[in-house]
Structure 1
Amino acid sequence: MEPSNKCWRFRRKCVVGQWRYVAILSSVFILVYMVYTIQPSAVVQYSPSSSVLASNQHGTVIKSVPFSYKFSPTNNLNFTPTLLERLSSGKGVQPTQGNASKSEDGADYYNDKTHQSSKTGTLNNKGTSKLPDAIIIGVKKGGTRALLEFIRLHPDVRASGPETHYFDRYYDRGEEWYRKQMPPSLEGQVTLEKTPGYFVTEKAPERIFKMSKKTKLILVVRNPVTRAISDYVQTMSKGYRNLKDFEDLLYESNGKLASEWGVIRIGMYAKHMRNWLKVFPLEQFLFVSGENLIKNPHEELGRVQTFLGLDVVIDESYFYHNQTKGFPCLKRKDGLDTSKCLGKTKGRKHPEIRPEILKQMYQFYEPWNKKFYKMIGIDFHWEDQFGTQNER
């Protein structure tokens, strides 16, 4: 007997009246339940001496150096895409959360939420935000962004994304505000912050000492002549159409070098370093060569890791030299022919400066350089770079 038009066939049975709606809703519920419950989870299996190999929610394989954290190997981990994960993927994983930011030096970088939130941790919502153990205090256009992006690949380093400018601009916001700008970290991890403006801020040393007299300080320095030209090029890139030529800005009306022009003043390292040594002992500083950071990044990274009390895991295998940009880039760790370079702001072409102008700049900085060498016990031989490719 055929069902009437008020009857609905469901699995060869005729369901009449209101029961047909129950059947429909039940079917929909079952489908929704299946869609939202059958999801791939990232289960990490590791031993303390092995590398971490995991698959995240994007289906991307994550390969890293050994973790030092103590957690159950059966825990499910929800990884937020990080720089290391993007290095390990084919074309890079587009982040589903967080935001892109720009640092003071104009470098593009990705700052995920784990570097902003003071409420969530990196592993199973563990970890708390703490004041930094170490600070990269400068110098601007010396290589601070490159150093931060390289060192944050270390599994025991947690670094804030944007420059906080707490000790030079926002000190009135208080220490608790500053703490909240730091990423959550686990016991044994090093929290790191970078703001190059601190080095030339007169009150910064005393303010940092008041926060913690044990804070480790990292200073990335570079040939002051090259640094000044790079600083000028960055200013030009920000759209200052009426900016005068470098040589026109370099001199005062009396014909002397414009030593009070910020581009020149920053490179007078001895003047600023004297202010820091009034507060902190020399052994709390690490001086990183900006030139060697470009030429041999693994050497400088090795020194930084040792200074921070970390195992040296970021080595030569992490880098290769990009001939086009003249800057080191990061290799993928799975052996495939892909890599990750820093932003387009790195490796900008410098304007041609007449040799006689460069010579005057070298002569101006030479006494300041010698004072700086004597203060810190390191000779960077910047004077020997005049007329060489190292000026770039």
Structure 2
Amino acid sequence: MSISVFCGGARQVRMVACRWRKLRRIMFGFGLSALAVVILRMATETFDTSQASHQLQHDLEQKLRSPENSNSDSLRWREDLWEELIQSCQGKKKLRQLPKIIGVGVEKCGTHALVHYLYRHPLIRTTRPLELGMFNRAGGRASDFLHRVPEVEENAFTMEKTPAYFNFNRAVPANIKNLVPDAKLLLLLCDPVDRVLSDFFHEWVMFNITHRDRVQFKYKSVDQYVHDYLPRIQQAIGDFDQKNALLQEDRVFDLMRKDYLSHIITTGFYALHLQRWFKYFNETNLMVIDSERMLQDPGNVIEEVQEFLKLPKVLLKEDYVKKEDSGYFCYKNWKDENKLDCLPSAKRRTRNGNKSLPPDVTSKLQGLFLSHNEALFKMLGRKFKWK
């Protein structure tokens, strides 16, 4: 089952017919009647509303954003489309389904922010808690996990995110592919040097809260930690080596089994981990997102995510505004511009400028990650603007 705008199966043709009258009213109002006839005819002939509806929505959006259209036109269009999606869920049978939208990582790269910006979509339902870790169990069946997900409308999509999926369990990619072969995966990557700083303080805070970490967290500063761990990791892993990448991956997991805290650094060997995921997924079902870009320009990124998920684009870049006092983006309710929903301050521990790496530590980590970053950029066919 592909992710589509409306319900799947034989009902699609009937749904096209029942929605035609309302869509025609909207489209005639914006002078797109001829285009609408062609697109709707394509939808009824192919029994697939997802691509046609997505293209129609795209064309309407482009026209509405042109200078000759007023804000009231744009608001009316969004109200109609939003209401259409809500109505498409009303009265539908509810069922439990494994997540079709899965955030697979990376820890401390803004995975919570992504969900915070995305979950308001009328067709997305999130799990409670968000991080279920259900795909960590090898050999499981769908029936083993359904009790852990909410009942949702049959044309809605359940979303779950567990950042540890990316690098803590080698079996996860195969588990997801076996259990949810048509899942769409979202992967956030951030500068691995900055990630070390963020993950260090995360582990430190969690230890002080729970006192139940797998090892005693004895380091009082990040430079102490890096000074101790960097030589061991350099010796065990070293520069990225394509010929021995699988052996290097083995060493990463062996090191983490023996010493849990090594993951603060080794998680940043993205290319070694990503090669495992690319055995089962590609750019059609795994979207790699530059975390820094998402935090600096969430509106455009969320629009691109909706396109990747093949969901109607009702969350627009205008919905995300920066708060001057914090420098972070918040979601602005398009029905009430006075309502802002911002990330909790706990999610900004190392981005508020109060914590940083010493210059010599930064330089050493940059040297460690250099070849691994270059390998990653080659795998993705694009570069990120990291240090």
Q: TM-score, normalised by structure 2?
A: 0.65
Question: What is the correspondence of 1:356-367 to structure 2 with a 5 Å cutoff?
Answer: 356-367=360-371
Distance 1:355 1:217, change over 3 A: same
Q: Is the 8 A contact 2:93 2:154 kept in 1?
A: no
Q: Does 1:269 align with 2:270?
A: yes
Question: Residue 142 of structure 1: CA displacement?
Answer: 0.9
CA distance in 2, matches of 1:123, 1:254: 55
* Cα deviation digits, residues 105-129 of structure 1 (max 9, x gap): xxxxxxxxxxxxxxxxx85684211
Which AA in structure 2 matches 1:230? S
CA distance in 2, matches of 1:133, 1:336: 31
Question: Residue 332 of structure 1: CA displacement?
Answer: 3.1
* Cα deviation digits, residues 134-172 of structure 1 (max 9, x gap): 21111011111111121111001122132110122x557
CA distance in 2, matches of 1:345, 1:307: 29
Q: Specify which of 222, 225, 235 is matched with residue 246 of structure 1.
A: 222
Unaligned runs of 5+ in 1: 1-46, 54-62, 72-121, 386-392
Distance 1:244 1:268, change over 3 A: same
Question: Residue 180 of structure 1: CA displacement?
Answer: 2.6
Per the alignment, in what secondary structure is the counterpart of residue 192 of structure 1?
A: strand
Question: What is the correspondence of 1:75-154 to structure 2 with a 5 Å cutoff?
Answer: 123=90, 126-154=93-121
Bigger relative contact order (CA 8 A; separation at least 6):
2
Match of 1:84 in 2: none
Percent identity for Structure 1 against Structure 2:
24
Q: Is the 8 A contact 2:102 2:185 kept in 1?
A: yes
Which AA in structure 2 matches 1:178? F
Task: Kindly indicate which of the two structures has a greater share of residues assigned to strand.
Answer: 1
Q: Is the 8 A contact 1:327 1:346 kept in 2?
A: no
Per the alignment, in what secondary structure is the counterpart of residue 371 of structure 1?
A: helix
Larger radius of gyration: 1
Which AA in structure 2 matches 1:142? C
Which AA in structure 2 matches 1:228? V
Distance 1:212 1:254, change over 3 A: closer
Q: Does 1:195 align with 2:196?
A: no
CA distance in 2, matches of 1:280, 1:208: 10
Alignment size in residue pairs: 277
Q: Is the 8 A contact 1:325 1:347 kept in 2?
A: no
Task: Kindly indicate which of the two structures has a greater share of residues assigned to helix.
Answer: 2
Per the alignment, in what secondary structure is the counterpart of residue 238 of structure 1?
A: helix
Match of 2:357 in 1: 353
What is the alpha-carbon root mean square deviation over aligned residues?
2.8
Distance 1:239 1:322, change over 3 A: farther
Question: What is the correspondence of 1:1-392 to structure 2 with a 5 Å cutoff?
Answer: 65-70=82-87, 123=90, 126-162=93-129, 163-168=131-136, 170=137, 174-200=141-167, 201-240=169-208, 242-252=218-228, 255=231, 260=255, 261-349=262-350, 350-382=354-386, 385=387
CA distance in 2, matches of 1:226, 1:377: 22
Q: Is the 8 A contact 2:95 2:154 kept in 1?
A: no
Distance 1:299 1:221, change over 3 A: same
> Which deviates further from its counterpart, 253-262 or 140-149?
253-262
Q: Is the 8 A contact 1:51 1:67 kept in 2?
A: no
Per the alignment, in what secondary structure is the counterpart of residue 65 of structure 1?
A: helix
Which AA in structure 2 matches 1:65? W
Distance 1:320 1:376, change over 3 A: same
Question: Residue 64 of structure 1: CA displacement?
Answer: 9.7
Distance 1:69 1:323, change over 3 A: closer
